[in-house]
Amino acid sequence: MTDDPMKLFVIVMAVLLAVLGFVAYQSWSQASAYEVALASAQDDAKSFREYGADVRRLCEQLRGTRIAGKSPKSMFDELATNNGFRLTQIKEDLDVTRGGNVKEKRFVVQLSRTQGTAPLPRDKIARFCRDVEQYSNGLLKTIELRLSRQTGRDQTELGKVDEVVDDKYTFDAVFGYRYIPVE
């Protein structure tokens, strides 16, 4: 290389200074990232505590619910029997995506006029919907309720007026709950 030891010393020191400068810059940028993470850690810890409390409440709610281990169809049948009527049809809809990764499970419950079923007053239908929500500890919600009023005859032609003889209804109710699937 060179015969002059002083030149060699200066070159080696310049290389060491460059390496030391690079290490110092990398350390400084990492320290900045750690400071930002430390500043947001307090907010994140608060959020994690809130999420943990929500999960704990949900687990306690699920553990205390009476529908755990019971099929929804048997629950709907049991509540209808407790309210003094029989349901015509109970079916489970496919999972519906509700934006993002939130899914919704729905159950369609029907009481139509058949030989074994009779129309019901509105208060009995409302009591049934309330009982479903209470029995499931608020997990199932009434999403939609369609009432069909019964008239004097079995079928009224479209556009014709028929006399309403009582305040009795058949219904289609949609119950459901939203969840985020675990992957």
DSSP string, 18-73: HHHHHHHHHHHHHHHHHHHHHHHHHHHHHHHHHHHHHHHHHHHHHHH-TTTTS-HH
What spatial distance separates the first Cα and last Cα of the chain, rounded to whole Å?
Answer: 62
The pLDDT, as a whole number, for residue 151 is: 59
Residues 77 and 18 in one domain: no
DSSP class of residue 115?
Answer: S
Say if residue 55 is in the same domain as residue 90: no
Indicate the SS3 state at residue 78: helix
90-119: per-residue pLDDT in tens?
888 776 776 777 778 888 888 876 666 677
Q: Is residue 167 very low, low, confident or very high in pLDDT (cuts 50, 70, 90)?
A: confident
The tally of CA atoms less than 13 A away on the side-chain side of residue 67 is 21
Q: Is 113 exposed, middle or buried (0-12, 13-18, 19+ CB in 10 A)?
A: middle
Q: Given a cut of 90, is residue 18 above it in pLDDT?
A: yes
CB 150 within 8 A of CB 168: yes
Same domain for 107 and 162, yes or no, is yes
In angstroms, the CA 90 to CA 173 distance is 10
Residue 66 clears pLDDT 60, i.e. is over it: no
Structural domain count of the chain: 2
Which of 108, 107, 109, 129 minimizes the C-alpha distance to 177? 107
Question: What digits encode the pLDDT tens for the residues 106-164?
Answer: 888 888 766 666 778 888 888 999 998 888 877 888 888 888 876 555 555 666 666 65
**88 and 49 belong to one structural domain:** no
Let me know whether 139 and 93 are in one domain: yes
Per-residue pLDDT, 45 = 87
The whole-number pLDDT of residue 134 equals: 86
**Residue 100 backbone zone (phi > 0: left; psi -120 to 50: alpha; other: beta):** left
106, 174 contact by CB (below 8 A):
yes
Q: Using DSSP, how many helices (H) and how many strands (E) does the chain show?
A: 3, 5
Same domain, 174 and 95: yes
Does residue 103 contact residue 138 with C-beta atoms inside 8 Å? no
Q: Which of 64, 93, 112 is the last residue of a domain?
A: 64
Based on the domain organization, do 89 and 20 belong to the same domain? Answer: no
The residue out of 40, 64, 88 marking a domain boundary is 64
CATH of the domain at 137: 3.30.70.60
- Co-location of 40 and 89 in the same domain: no
Quote the domain boundaries for residue 86.
72-179
Instruction: State the pLDDT at residue 55.
Output: 85
Indicate whether 21 and 109 sit together in one domain.
no
Q: Please check whether residues 38 and 107 belong to one and the same domain.
A: no
Does 86 share its domain with 173? yes
- Sign, CA dihedral 163-154-120-76, equals negative
Q: Are residues 17 and 76 in the same domain?
A: no
pLDDT, average across residues 54-65: 72
Which of 64, 84, 110 delimits the end of a domain? 64
pLDDT band per the 50, 70, 90 thresholds, residue 74:
confident
